[in-house]
Structure 1
Amino acid sequence: MFSRKSQKTGSSPEPKRERRAAVRHGDRMNATPDNKSRFVIAMVLFVGVYGAIGVRLVTWGTVPDARTMSFRAADQIMASRPDLVDRNGSVLATDIRVASLFAEPRKIVDANEASELLLSVLPDLDPKWLYNSLSSEAGFLWLRRELTPSQQQAILDLGVPGIGFRTEKRRFYPGGTTAGFVTGHVNVDNQGIAGMEKYIDDQGYLALQNSGLAVDAELEPVQLSIDLRVQHILRDELSEAMTRYRSIAAGGVVMNAKTGEILAMTSLPDYDPNDPRQALEKDRMNRTSAGLYEMGSTFKSFTSAMALDTGKVNLLSKFDASRPIRIGGHQISDFHGKKRVLTLEEVFIYSSNIGSAKEAELVGIEGHQAFLTRLGLLSRLQTELPEVATPTQPKNWKLVNSITASYGHGISTTPLQTAVAAGALMNGGKLIPPTFLPRTEEQAAAVATQVITKSASDDMRYLFRLNVEDQRGSGNYAEIDGYRVGGKTGTANKVVNGRYSDNKKFNAFLSAFPMDDPQYIVLIYIDEPQPEPGKYYATAGMNTAPTAGNVIRRAAPLLNVKPDLGPTGETLLVSY
């Protein structure tokens, strides 16, 4: 018994437990650095693995596949374009919703059957392309943009799996061809590529559309200076003139002489912006602002104005037109020459080439070039419409160039520029840049440039009116009772294979009304007109002058120009 007690109470076992405890404590102390390393490694691996996964997800999210790109494009197409309206609020262009057809080939069970079914509704699709597309591994592809409602319903009735529709916006032009060259058109992605549609995009709308800020946005309409009623009249009269005179083209412009606003502008043959493919046809170009022509005797208006502006001559000054001018191996003569000395007034109404050449000689070569440049006839026109051509002129002006330019040969400019320059001759001598947006007279005055004296402008108004009301003038057929029309004809021989043709002409009539205080400029041109049945001549006085008269007769009341019928008219009104 004692011995067991002495074992329990002995001192020898305690030091051993202390040593073991110390050893275990020491192991923990020595093990701490290894655990910390393993912890750091684990954290690095954790961050690395999840970082790699995150990078991969970001990469996959930013790589554009066909479906992603197509839906992004469709979202852009859903962007609202602002309506285009005329000066009276009539709609020229607006957005409508349409359906577009897409496919997800991976979900299509039988590409051959799906192709046959779709071709039964859309027979103009390429069968080979359609089958290859539907049997591919693509995730998304467009099959047809802008379907009609009947086409959409017919495809829905087919019940083809993997086929769907996406609602998009399509531009619609209610007037069709009426103002196509002014409004322009958009592409399949609803982006402006011509006319005022392109101008709007270039002013910042395209950036708004690409940023997604224009989706389902309520945008204020863009008002143009165009008067849809006058636009219709202009196009209607030109269309009839093309038929009557069997011409290859025609065009014209109606401009406010006080503000530079374009109220109407067209060129025939034209196109329907609802079908932009028509614009690609060879003869469908905007000749009025993008076509270059020798404007013929209408340029004599600027030559006479130039001479009067010098202050060296007046309406009664005389120029010897008794003999042709010979220069550079060419002879310059008059169409219906009087073969005598003519006053400046007679030079204008008889449309004397010889007299105009003498007027140009009076000013000099440098002065002549500078004057035409000052009127904007030799440089590219600055306006909102993108389709504007740059005029051509002789590289080095010589005497022969100045002489031929005096009666409208050797220099090619646009009909629109000719009308704009004429505005300066009629409104007191101020050249006003043209605009397709509304502008007040105060705003016009801020951008106007005085290019000729007021007295020269007054004389030109007199000459314009005289050329229409006097039986000796070439513009008689433009006379419209009550509206005091004035103008100048131009019959230019066209250049064919480097030589002037005797039977192909470009005719124009440059006019204004009412001549006591001209408010509007009207320019009409007809390309290669033929004589009317029973008539021998096809000069401008026989075709462009009466066409301009018809436009003025119909448009003047809409433009609030009151007719002045004189004492006879007042008597009739009193009797009524």
Structure 2
Amino acid sequence: MMRVPNPFKRNKPVAAGTMLPDCDHFGRPRRHRGGPKNRSRFVIAMGLFVGIYGVIGGRLVMWGVAPTESAAAYGAADKIMSDRPDLLDRNGEVLATDIKTASLFAEPRRIIDPDEASELLLGVMPDLDPKWLYRRLASNAGFVWLRRELTPGQQQAVLDLGIPGIGFRTEKRRFYPGGTTAGFIVGHTNVDNQGTAGMEKYIDDQGYRALQDAGLAVGTDLEPVKLSLDLRVQHIVRDELAAAMARYKAIAAGGVVLDVHTGEVVAMTSLPDYDPNQPSQALDKDRMNRMSAGLYEMGSTFKAFTTAMALDSGKVKITDSFDATRPIRMGGFTISDFHGKRRVLSVPEVFIYSSNIGSAKEAEAVGIEGHQEFLTRVGLLSRMTTELPEVATPTQPKVWKQINSVTISFGHGVSTTPLNTAVAAAALMNGGKLIPPTFLPRSRAEAEAVATRVLSEKTSDEMRYLFRLNVADQRGSGNKADVTGYRVGGKTGTANKVVNGRYSDTKKFNAFLSAFPIDNPRYIVLVVIDEPKPEDGQYYATAGMNAAPTVGNIIRRSATLLGVRPEFGDEGKSLLVSY
């Protein structure tokens, strides 16, 4: 049997007081407290600690001095954070405001597997182009946008994917609570929250864009911009136009309500319209602002200006008459009347029967130069000066000949905008002053400062009488626009559209130009209807059958909102002229 030696047994006697190496005085091995081996472990641990935090610090420094591409991307994003002022209607209702939204970006250098990341993101946003997405994620860029303005649901779905190198940035997005109600007036912004149409663009052009570019519009509490628009009346106009389009099977319609004393546009719309929350809709060729950016031959509404011109020239009096017995033959053309009376017509009869022959003879009495000068004077041949960017320039013949003057007298041969027409009509009603239109609030004193007298008060009084006669008299073409208590006056216009270089007998552009209350006009209401069809049970689709009743419906619903009180006293007691 092997013996195991006892380490604590002394084999040899040791003298008292003698200390054995690495043993205590009892002969037991010593416990070492620290030494070269433990010290090396401590140094290694400290090195690892410093190394890890050094890497973190290095990454922070690297991101801080990111390459130009990444820095530029973040700089652009900072501009997007710029605030925009709210747009309000005249009563303080919000038309446009900023809201916060999330946008998706990627840092491709941190993407581990671009192919897998692409597949996961396409599961949430299948409308993204797969090749485009993969190329962006596989690039060596420091920062790339993937999708701007995500919905909350999309944001949460992407978060749930947990893809490294994918993040969100909070941006400002423009929101229009009214949707389509006032789209053409408020306009819209692009993805960078910069105004590109309507009053949004006007605000940027007034200096706000420069503030954005300079970075001075970030986090700024900007004063709201109040417009002249009344959202309640705007809704009524749009609602009635939509009903008219359906009722008369028209391809388009438009309307405007204008203050005759200040030039303020209280309501204006054009159908088909668009939702500024989805600005891509504005690219549809049928969705255009026909009221200020569309050019049309306004038809018989021009007879109001022809008569006003003749009366204001002093060469024609309201008691004069014109022979409308036979058509006019000129330059190979025959000018006749629709439902002509084939007799001598007084000036009021020329107006209420909408006689082409009588209007042509009124223009002939004034002369070609006087005719062109008058239409220019009242603004029908010039581009309007107003805040809205979408404004067209009227067209006219390069050289006016007698045939041009004759056809223009009843609304053919000159193209202008419906808003130009409404503004010129306000001058006929307000005492003879042409006031530039505005989409911002304007007082009567401010309007007087920019007004230009274009005809006499006497002519204005006479035109108010003729406007009312055309609606109140059952023989008048505008009698379907009458609204009890509000004394409406107006003039119809039914123009044949030009198709392939020739006037069509079936396609028409109808308008009704009105004012109320006619004894002391406060508002112009103009409605246009493009290519209306006869209503069920009717044979004709003239302006008196569709545009006129639409104007009546608008006035009936909006007059009290506009502060016009109905009166049921003696008809015409306040008219300044009587015939």
Q: TM-score, normalised by structure 2?
A: 0.87
Residue 455 of structure 2 aligns to a residue in which SS?
coil
State whether structure 2 residue 102 is matched by structure 1 residue 118: no
Distance across 2 between alignment mates of 1:415 and 1:428: 21
Instruction: Name the counterpart of 1:128.
Output: 131
1:299-356 superposed Cα distances (whole Å, 9 cap, x missing partner):
0000000001012222210111111100010000000111111111100000000000
Please show how residues 255-266 of structure 1 align to structure 2 within 5 Å: 255-266=258-269
Instruction: Name the counterpart of 1:344.
Output: 347
Residue 559 of structure 1 aligns to a residue in which SS?
coil
Distance across 2 between alignment mates of 1:458 and 1:284: 39
Instruction: Name the counterpart of 2:492.
Output: 489
Distance across 1 between alignment mates of 2:74 and 2:385: 38
Instruction: Name the counterpart of 2:324.
Output: 321
Residue 67 of structure 1 aligns to a residue in which SS?
helix
1:403-432 superposed Cα distances (whole Å, 9 cap, x missing partner):
000000000000000000000000000000
Distance across 1 between alignment mates of 2:194 and 2:479: 47
User: Shift of the alpha carbon at 1:63?
Assistant: 10
Instruction: Name the counterpart of 1:399.
Output: 402
Letter in 1 for 2:298: M
State whether structure 2 residue 196 is matched by structure 1 residue 176: no
Instruction: Name the counterpart of 2:204.
Output: 201
State whether structure 2 residue 455 is matched by structure 1 residue 452: yes
Match of 1:545 among 548, 553, 557: 548
User: Shift of the alpha carbon at 1:61?
Assistant: 10
Contact 2:188 2:198 in 1 (8 A): yes
Instruction: Name the counterpart of 1:438.
Output: 441
Distance across 1 between alignment mates of 2:327 and 2:200: 51
Residue 155 of structure 2 aligns to a residue in which SS?
helix
1:503-552 superposed Cα distances (whole Å, 9 cap, x missing partner):
00000000000000000000000000000111100000000000000000
Instruction: Name the counterpart of 2:255.
Output: 252
Instruction: Name the counterpart of 1:187.
Output: 190
Range that drifts further, 558-567 or 98-107:
558-567
Letter in 2 for 1:290: A
Distance across 1 between alignment mates of 2:488 and 2:266: 18
Instruction: Name the counterpart of 1:221.
Output: 224
| Structure 2 CA distance for partners of 1:437 and 1:67, relative to 1, 3 Å | same
State whether structure 2 residue 413 is matched by structure 1 residue 416: no
Distance across 1 between alignment mates of 2:72 and 2:545: 59
Contact 2:478 2:544 in 1 (8 A): yes
Distance across 1 between alignment mates of 2:80 and 2:396: 44
Distance across 1 between alignment mates of 2:240 and 2:212: 39
1:222-272 superposed Cα distances (whole Å, 9 cap, x missing partner):
000000000000000000000000000000100000000000000000000
Instruction: Name the counterpart of 1:20.
Output: none
Distance across 2 between alignment mates of 1:81 and 1:309: 48
Residue 193 of structure 1 aligns to a residue in which SS?
strand
Letter in 2 for 1:406: S
1:442-465 superposed Cα distances (whole Å, 9 cap, x missing partner):
000000000000000000000000
User: Shift of the alpha carbon at 1:566?
Assistant: 2.1
Instruction: Name the counterpart of 1:161.
Output: 164
Instruction: Name the counterpart of 2:466.
Output: 463
Instruction: Name the counterpart of 2:391.
Output: 388
Instruction: Name the counterpart of 1:353.
Output: 356
User: Shift of the alpha carbon at 1:74?
Assistant: 1.3
Distance across 2 between alignment mates of 1:231 and 1:299: 26
Instruction: Name the counterpart of 1:29.
Output: none
Residue 72 of structure 1 aligns to a residue in which SS?
helix
Contact 2:511 2:526 in 1 (8 A): yes
Letter in 2 for 1:463: L
Instruction: Name the counterpart of 1:303.
Output: 306
Instruction: Name the counterpart of 2:539.
Output: 536
Contact 1:83 1:91 in 2 (8 A): yes
| Structure 2 CA distance for partners of 1:567 and 1:347, relative to 1, 3 Å | closer
How many residues align? The count is 509
Letter in 2 for 1:305: A
Q: Percent identity?
A: 75
Letter in 2 for 1:306: M
Distance across 2 between alignment mates of 1:209 and 1:61: 24
Range that drifts further, 129-138 or 195-204:
129-138
**Unmatched 5+ residue regions in structure 1?**
1-59, 569-576
Contact 1:66 1:141 in 2 (8 A): no
Distance across 2 between alignment mates of 1:181 and 1:384: 13
Letter in 2 for 1:343: S
Instruction: Name the counterpart of 1:106.
Output: 109
Distance across 1 between alignment mates of 2:186 and 2:287: 15
Letter in 1 for 2:220: A
1:84-120 superposed Cα distances (whole Å, 9 cap, x missing partner):
0000000000000000000000100011111111111
Residue 83 of structure 2 aligns to a residue in which SS?
coil
Match of 1:287 among 273, 276, 290: 290
Superposed CA RMSD in Å reads: 1.3
1:39-83 superposed Cα distances (whole Å, 9 cap, x missing partner):
xxxxxxxxxxxxxxxxxxxxx999973321221111111110000
Letter in 2 for 1:462: Y
Distance across 1 between alignment mates of 2:487 and 2:367: 34
Distance across 1 between alignment mates of 2:351 and 2:126: 63
Match of 2:68 among 52, 61, 65: 65
Distance across 2 between alignment mates of 1:271 and 1:65: 39
Residue 188 of structure 1 aligns to a residue in which SS?
coil
Distance across 1 between alignment mates of 2:69 and 2:88: 37
Moved over 3 A (4+): 60-64
Letter in 1 for 2:520: D
Distance across 1 between alignment mates of 2:189 and 2:150: 17
1:123-161 superposed Cα distances (whole Å, 9 cap, x missing partner):
101111111111111111000000011111111111000
Distance across 2 between alignment mates of 1:372 and 1:567: 35
Instruction: Name the counterpart of 1:559.
Output: 562
Contact 1:467 1:473 in 2 (8 A): yes
State whether structure 2 residue 506 is matched by structure 1 residue 503: yes
